[in-house]
């Protein structure tokens, strides 16, 4: 049985879910769904890999070894060193490998790639602990985001790529009647990948943000170089190890996928990005560097900074709403591209089923809800995780002095498992709408602004303007009015921002589901791409046809 036949059912289910936009995941998100011994083995593996060379990759003899990752939970270097290769060597190997990869058919590529995801699923616990000690996510979030949810997004890219690559027939007989005779031609077509792809990873979601571009590049017949953030290499190195091993066992060059590591002091990202043979680039990170990537003469797919908003109008159950917003703002200490930053509330307050709650009481209610969450010893540490970088910690600590009225100061809480963890709870600051110099840009981390506006229309106008000029990935809205719902949707959608209405309970604006939710729209300054629409794959290859006289 070929790998394509082995995984055909998974592919067909993924395609069906993508078309219907329904729930689907072949990778359970509960750790209990996997063999019991994997967790213990992963802990042993993590202990063994620390302070050693990561020699599991299949890229040949390295020039040297480097590594600078620091665990946000331990606040010590994890000591893993990765193989270093020159940019010219990486580019050369990728070009050679791409020729081989592009010449196998889409069914073979699909089977190999889904097989690699199956193997990666057996490493979810390894990847989870690696993500914890690079990114600072709690174990459960690390397991889900870097494991099942990342695999879902990778499979989504494979399924979308397969659909687009098989949309047209491989060949056809073309007959044009000319009266006394027919003109007959035989035609064939081939989808040809554009060349080497580069995926530039980020420090907070080193797997989830990397694999969509990686697998979209691979399914379309291109080789790929992955350049992770130097502070978050280990999780994606495991993924690349498993892909390379799958390629090798399929008789293919493992350099079809390569890991390109560098250091903060000596980055190689621009050298790779500007290399003529690199034809497409996926990037997640700052708007400044993302703008540089977008202006290169390449095909680019970017996710940059955005200013996400929540618009408050009217609610049925204020306590449930405050709890939901508190969790959304606290999850992974706000270090998510979809986390809410600006909460717009009318100066006239919020209408509830029990009357109007004033602006000031709403602000205090949110502060109380956040305190109740983070001070819960069972829920708090696992929700907020740890701060990935010193820069984010410094920004959070210093934001109170920048202006506004502090309704809730950021502080540290105790994590019984990791007493040295770098922790900062959310800070809540009350602002007037005139203070756009404070809330008008992304303040990455656990920072929440509650902005007093002149009313619902004013809140909508400000949120829309920010999305148009600064970008936004998400928007939350709470209203019991049908007309307000329609207006918010129309205005925010016109700025290419999706809206999540009246989320409570287990529904959070931070989370986007593969096969159903498009992550980003590509329509505002937050990024020029979307996980995963057809354009995310079709821009990576071209159709080329030949014609023959019959």
Domain spans of the chain, in order of start: 3-305+533-549, 309-501
For residue 536, the model assigns a pLDDT of: 98
Residue-wise DSSP of 232-259: S-HHHHHHHHHHHHHHHHTTS-GGGEEE
What is the Cα–Cα distance from 133 to 309, expressed in whole angstroms? Answer: 30
346: nearest Cα among 461, 427, 517: 461
Radius of gyration over every alpha carbon of the chain, rounded to an integer in angstroms: 25
Residue 353, judged by CB atoms within 10 A of its CB (0-12, 13-18, 19+), counts as: exposed
Neighbours of 520 (CB within 10 A): 29
What is the Cα–Cα distance from 331 to 41, expressed in whole angstroms? Answer: 28
Coil/strand/helix, residue 54: coil
**The CATH fold of domain 3-305+533-549:** Aldehyde Dehydrogenase; Chain A, domain 1 (3.40.605)
What is the Cα–Cα distance from 506 to 500, expressed in whole angstroms? Answer: 13
For residue 400, the model assigns a pLDDT of: 87
Helix axis angle, 148-165 to 8-20, nearest 10°: 90
Q: Which uninterrupted H or E stretch holds 257?
A: strand 257-259
Tokens 């280990």 belong to 234
Encode the chain (550 residues) as per-residue pLDDT tens digits.
999 999 999 999 999 999 999 999 999 999 999 999 999 999 999 999 999 999 999 999 999 999 999 999 999 999 999 999 999 999 999 999 999 999 999 999 999 999 999 999 999 999 999 999 999 999 999 999 999 999 999 999 999 999 999 999 999 999 999 888 999 999 999 999 999 999 999 999 999 999 999 999 999 999 999 999 999 999 999 999 999 999 999 999 999 999 999 999 999 999 999 999 999 999 999 999 999 999 999 999 999 999 999 999 999 999 999 999 999 999 999 999 999 999 999 999 999 988 999 999 999 999 999 999 999 999 999 999 999 999 999 999 999 888 999 999 999 999 999 999 999 999 999 999 999 999 999 999 999 999 999 999 999 999 999 999 999 999 999 999 999 999 999 999 999 999 999 999 999 999 999 999 999 999 999 999 999 999 999 999 999 999 999 8
For residue 550, the model assigns a pLDDT of: 84
Q: How far apart are the first and last CA of the chain?
A: 36
The length of the chain in residues reads: 550
Cα dist. 249→112, 115, 242 in Å?
A: 10, 11, 11
What is the Cα–Cα distance from 66 to 261, expressed in whole angstroms? Answer: 8
Judge contact between 80 and 50, C-beta under 8 A. yes
Q: If one looks up domain 309-501 in CATH, what number appears?
A: 3.40.309.10
For residue 401, the model assigns a pLDDT of: 87
233: nearest Cα among 301, 134, 141: 134
What is the Cα–Cα distance from 416 to 547, expressed in whole angstroms? Answer: 70
445: nearest Cα among 324, 336, 307: 336
Tokens 């209405």 belong to 501
What is the Cα–Cα distance from 160 to 444, expressed in whole angstroms? Answer: 32
What is the Cα–Cα distance from 69 to 58, expressed in whole angstroms? Answer: 22
Q: Which uninterrupted H or E stretch holds 431?
A: strand 427-432
Residue 522 has what DSSP assignment? S
Q: Which uninterrupted H or E stretch holds 307?
A: none
């Amino acid at each position: 049985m070929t790998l394509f036949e082995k995984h055909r059912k998974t592919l067909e289910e993924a395609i069906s879910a993508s078309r219907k936009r329904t729930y689907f995941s072949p990778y359970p998100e509960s750790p209990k769904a996997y063999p019991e011994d994997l967790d213990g083995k992963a802990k042993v593996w993590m202990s063994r890999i620390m302070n050693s060379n990561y020699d599991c990759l299949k890229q040949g003899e390295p020039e040297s070894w480097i590594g600078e990752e620091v665990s946000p939970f331990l606040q010590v270097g994890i000591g893993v060193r990765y193989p270093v290769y020159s940019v010219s060597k990486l580019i050369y190997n990728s070009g050679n490998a791409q020729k081989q990869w592009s010449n196998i058919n889409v069914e073979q590529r699909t089977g190999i790639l889904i097989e690699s995801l199956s193997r990666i699923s057996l490493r979810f616990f390894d990847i989870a602990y690696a993500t914890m000690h690079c990114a600072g996510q709690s174990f459960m979030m690390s397991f889900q985001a870097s494991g099942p949810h990342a695999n879902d997004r990778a499979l989504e890219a494979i399924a979308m790529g397969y659909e687009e690559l098989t949309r047209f027939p491989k060949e056809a007989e073309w007959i044009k009647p000319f009266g006394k005779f027919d003109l007959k031609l035989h035609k064939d077509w081939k989808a040809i990948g554009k060349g080497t792809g580069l995926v530039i990873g980020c420090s907070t979601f080193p797997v989830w943000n990397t694999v969509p571009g990686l697998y979209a590049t691979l399914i379309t017949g291109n080789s790929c170089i992955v350049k992770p953030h130097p502070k978050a290499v280990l999780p994606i190195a495991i993924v690349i190890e498993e892909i390379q091993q799958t390629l090798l066992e399929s008789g293919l060059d493992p350099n079809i996928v390569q890991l390109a590591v560098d250091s903060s002091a000596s980055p190689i990202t621009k050298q790779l990005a500007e290399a003529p043979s690199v034809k497409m680039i996926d990037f997640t990170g700052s708007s400044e560097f993302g703008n540089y990537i977008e202006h290169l003469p390449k095909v680019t797919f970017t996710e940059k900074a955005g200013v996400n908003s929540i618009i408050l109008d009217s609610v049925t159950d204020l306590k449930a709403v405050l709890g939901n917003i508190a969790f959304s703002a606290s999850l992974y200490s706000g270090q998510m591209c979809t986390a809410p930053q600006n909460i717009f509330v009318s100066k006239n307050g919020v209408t509830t089923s029990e009357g109007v709650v004033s602006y000031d009481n709403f602000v205090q209610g949110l502060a109380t809800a956040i305190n109740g969450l983070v001070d819960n010893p069972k829920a708090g540490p696992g929700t907020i995780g740890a701060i990935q970088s010193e820069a984010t910690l410094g920004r959070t600590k210093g934001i109170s002095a920048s202006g506004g009225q502090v309704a809730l100061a950021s502080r540290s809480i105790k994590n019984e498992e990791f007493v040295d963890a770098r922790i900062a709870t959310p800070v809540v600051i009350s602002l007037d709408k005139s203070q756009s110099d404070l809330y008008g840009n992304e303040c990455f981390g656990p920072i929440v602004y509650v902005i007093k506006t002149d009313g619902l229309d004013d809140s909508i106008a400000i949120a829309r303007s920010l999305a148009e000029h600064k970008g936004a990935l998400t928007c939350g809205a709470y209203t019991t009015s049908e007309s307000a719902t329609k207006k918010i949707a129309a205005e925010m959608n016109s700025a290419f921002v999706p809206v999540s209405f009246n989320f409570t309970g287990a529904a959070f604006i931070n989370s986007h589901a593969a096969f159903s939710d498009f992550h980003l729209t590509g329509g505002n300054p937050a990024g020029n791409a979307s996980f995963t629409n057809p354009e995310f794959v079709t821009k990576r290859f071209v159709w080329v046809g030949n014609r023959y006289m019959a």
